[in-house]
Amino acid sequence: MSEKLLNLPALRSIVIPFTFIVLLFSASCSKDKEIVSEKDKELVEEKLKEEALAKKIQDIIPAKYLDSLKKIGIEVYSEANPPKIEGTFSVQPLILEKTNVPKDFKIGHKFDDARIYFSRQTENFDIRLLATGLLAERDTSITTAISGSGNNFTVYGKLKAVQRGDFAIFAVIISATLDGNVLRNFKYGLINIDNSKGGINKFILEGQGRVIFESDFAAEKISDTELLARPQNKTDIPVMNRGGIRILP
């Protein structure tokens, strides 16, 4: 068959642009796959972060205790992108909002001032928590985690509360909004999860909890050295007036 019959120049003019279009389409598909693949990777990584955080929280406070605190008013920011909150904060005045303790303090009861020190926060949701007056004389975190997004956060702590030589294990949930050097809308829930260490006559009983809020809604950052300082104008802190202490009959 002759070249004239095949019209090869015309055929070449068709084949070359078509080949170029195929190459462009292939490159475009490849790029789209890369974009989709990158998005899928980000979604998987986010899902893995959320699962790791959920496990940390479950290890700190079993679901039944967390549900108990939610029922009496604690708010939880459960997202996996918390703000950086390291520092020492003065939390006062602290007011009882709700309780499941029979014959407890009256709603509106004022507890002693507390100081809280957050440190060693990591991208793996770890954070260290030390406090004075939150539960008892001294409160030290055994294991702790943080969740949240934007400026809102929740800290979950399994704490050893020490009072006059005896101690109990509490789960504490702290929620607030970071605003510069101030924690806004500070609120915490506490629940006794292990009262077998001699504190039965000093602490609220296992399974009992309270939700306490800061009534001026602004916990201010202070220097780290002030964590253990005695509050001004107080010569003695009443042992019955801290968050984890029970009223004796």
* pLDDT tens digit sequence for 137-159: 667 778 999 999 999 999 999 98
Same domain as 103, residue 20: no
Strands 218-222 and 87-91: antiparallel
DSSP, res 224: G
pLDDT recorded at residue 8: 47
Instruction: Determine, yes or no, domain membership for 249.
Output: no
My answer on whether 210 and 103 are in the same domain is yes
- Is-contact 74 173, C-beta < 8 A? yes
pLDDT for the residue numbered 235: 35
Q: How many domains does the chain have?
A: 2
Decide: 83 and 148 in contact? Cβ < 8 Å. yes
Indicate the pLDDT class of residue 234, thresholds 50, 70 and 90: very low
**Is residue 84's pLDDT more than 70?**
yes
Any domain includes 232: no
The residue segments making up the domain with residue 45 are 3-52
Same domain assignment for residues 84 and 13? no
Per-residue model confidence (pLDDT) at position 101: 93
Same domain, 149 and 126: yes
In a domain, 79, yes or no: yes
Tens-place pLDDT, residues 201-231: 778 888 999 999 999 999 999 987 777 665 5
- pLDDT grade, residue 195 (50/70/90)? confident
Residue 15 and residue 81 in one domain: no
Do residue 118 and residue 209 come from a single domain?
Answer: yes
Residue 92 sits in a domain whose CATH number is 2.40.160
**Alpha helices (runs of H) in the chain, residue ranges in sequence order:** 3-6, 8-60, 63-71
The structure tokens listed for 141 are: 């975190």
Record the pTM: 0.78
pLDDT in tens, 99-138: 999 989 999 999 888 899 999 999 999 999 888 877 766 6
- Give pLDDT, residue 45: 82
Above 70 in pLDDT, residue 81? yes
Asked if the structure places residue 72 within a domain, the reply is: yes
One domain for residues 219 and 188: yes
- C-alpha 212/C-alpha 190 separation (Å) is 8
| Residue 175 clears pLDDT 70, i.e. is over it | yes
For the stretch 26-70, pLDDT in tens is: 555 555 555 557 777 778 888 888 999 999 999 999 999 999 999
In a domain, 26, yes or no: yes
Residue 82 has pLDDT above 90, yes or no: yes
Residues 44 and 72 in one domain: no
Average pLDDT over residues 86-96: 93
239 part of a folded domain:
no
Residue 248 in domain: no
Q: How confident is the model at residue 244 (pLDDT cuts 50, 70, 90)?
A: confident
pLDDT at residue 19, as a whole number:
54
